[in-house]
Structure 1
């Protein structure tokens, strides 16, 4: 099993479990996608240990964080993230925020709260609210929820939990997967994943009506170029909308990566390089501002 030690931090009345590692003057905070927690960053963190202080955590209700009885919305998660940063990251330090998938919605709302504290933002395959996949997402979510309800019952039996999480087992180191199996792929973890899916359904109409402010800090979006089987058309559409969103930013960079959705597991080096790119920008500007003379992160096609 993983040997990383963490601590519990209380934010907004929620007990969240936090692991801190690395060293340096700058700080990087990681926000996981739906159904995932701090362990989803295990392959990336060692690559950045000499560059910055690193913070990975489990959202309230997930992993080793305290259980919650109610339904948290995306705004609630963003408020927790901002409060966690206020509690853990010194105000004098430069901050880069990294978020995967649904975590991108959380991070963008949190960016509004963090203001100039945020010096860099890395989004890994987020779904912009303009994407057509959200047009009927409530219907999609109901189908996924029915499947997750079955999974929630199955994961009570450990061999079935391994079977249900086989795609994850193939992507993560053995000790990381063992921790995920013990903490995440359990009935409570699946129940929380279902709640997070409902949170996305509830959030999209507001994101479309009142989108978060555009990040003014340097922002990198990593998008996979390898679609899931049977979803090539959806992937193409998603990429178009991701590129369009990046084009609206004052300081944005799009990069395609030869990977599936879990880029941090399949191509951790590229994620680390993108974080390093943002840290270098922070070091060069020394304050919230923009430069345009730095090369894009390696490993993909910038556009």
Structure 2
């Protein structure tokens, strides 16, 4: 059963809901992908909690965090991540980010500075890939679809039906928390804002890429394409590989998983976290 309790942390005039679990001297911070919050990390945190301090949170406007009327940019979300780390984490840490959260994490790298001991990216957005050439149009289509979903999610039964794929991936108590907090009209409204933020960020990332992380970095790319994205899957993976291998200390891996690697392959994610901690003088990894 989910028994983690959280606290409210102020960041840049907003508030975010933070859960701190686990024990030990090493710290790991998690940044969720679009449309998800702290609960999506439950399968991974369960494997690390006996030896690592873990920080998972809901971005402003999402889950249990304070509502915001503003449409926050990726830069705003990155600034919130930096402020959260400064408020909660006392020293060095490993950052784990999924999907859209990869953009947030990469933009936050410079602000996090040398405290960032390692970066683990799970199927992150790769702005250089051709699929993002027309992402503004894709985002507009997704927004129209989510506008319908937002209204339908006033019905708990319809929300459960629409999210049935996630029900198969996550523990029952995690899924029920998602259903109550994320798959509701307010959650869908925030997801729509974040998709627009990604669309606005893509040309900026292309024109002025974030400073590359100087810390050890591992990028896990899903082997199985997202629904409707099979045609672009190979190109996405290739652009992720190029980016990872361009880093001073980058490593690219393909994982037998769909997009939600943390749910389908939590053991691999936990192992790579421990690998990064071991690389920087923390916990010794169970296996590389």
The TM-score range, normalised by the shorter chain, is: over 0.9
Equivalent residue, structure 2, for 1:64: 64
Equivalent residue, structure 2, for 1:225: 223
**Alignment equivalent of 2:119, drawn from 118, 121, 126:** 121
8 A Cα contact 2:221 2:255, kept in partner? yes
**Alignment equivalent of 1:165, drawn from 155, 158, 163:** 163
Equivalent residue, structure 1, for 2:43: 43
Q: 1:42 is paired with a residue of what secondary structure?
A: helix
**Alignment equivalent of 2:142, drawn from 141, 144, 169:** 144
Work out the CA distance in 2 between the residues paired with 1:21 and 1:8: 15
8 A Cα contact 2:35 2:188, kept in partner? yes
Work out the CA distance in 2 between the residues paired with 1:177 and 1:124: 20
Deviation, 1:2, is 2.2
1:11 corresponds to 2:29: no
Equivalent residue, structure 1, for 2:84: 84
Q: Deviations over 1:47-74 (max 9, x none)?
A: 1112321000000000000000111000
Q: 1:167 is paired with a residue of what secondary structure?
A: helix
Work out the CA distance in 2 between the residues paired with 1:192 and 1:170: 24
8 A Cα contact 1:25 1:94, kept in partner? no
Work out the CA distance in 2 between the residues paired with 1:87 and 1:258: 36
Count of residue correspondences? 288
* TM-score, normalised relative to structure 1: 0.92
Equivalent residue, structure 2, for 1:262: 260
Deviation, 1:167, is 1.4
Instruction: Classify 1:161/1:14 alpha carbon distance in 2 versus 1 (closer, same or farther; 3 Å).
Output: same
Equivalent residue, structure 2, for 1:301: none
**Alignment equivalent of 1:107, drawn from 105, 108, 127:** 105
* TM-score, normalised relative to structure 2: 0.97
RMSD between aligned residues: 1.6
8 A Cα contact 1:270 1:297, kept in partner? no
Residues 170-181 of structure 1: pairs in structure 2 closer than 5 A: 170-181=168-179
Instruction: Classify 1:114/1:265 alpha carbon distance in 2 versus 1 (closer, same or farther; 3 Å).
Output: same
Work out the CA distance in 2 between the residues paired with 1:295 and 1:183: 34
8 A Cα contact 1:94 1:282, kept in partner? no
**Larger deviation, residues 172-181 vs 221-230:** 221-230
Q: 1:236 is paired with a residue of what secondary structure?
A: helix
8 A Cα contact 2:274 2:285, kept in partner? no
Work out the CA distance in 2 between the residues paired with 1:117 and 1:2: 30
Instruction: Classify 1:26/1:295 alpha carbon distance in 2 versus 1 (closer, same or farther; 3 Å).
Output: closer
Moved over 2 A (4+): 228-233, 294-298
Work out the CA distance in 2 between the residues paired with 1:244 and 1:193: 29
Q: Which runs of 5+ in 1 are unaligned?
A: 287-293, 299-303
Deviation, 1:230, is 4.8
Equivalent residue, structure 2, for 1:135: 133
Q: 1:84 is paired with a residue of what secondary structure?
A: helix
Work out the CA distance in 2 between the residues paired with 1:108 and 1:280: 22
8 A Cα contact 2:9 2:15, kept in partner? yes
8 A Cα contact 2:47 2:270, kept in partner? yes
Instruction: Classify 1:200/1:229 alpha carbon distance in 2 versus 1 (closer, same or farther; 3 Å).
Output: closer
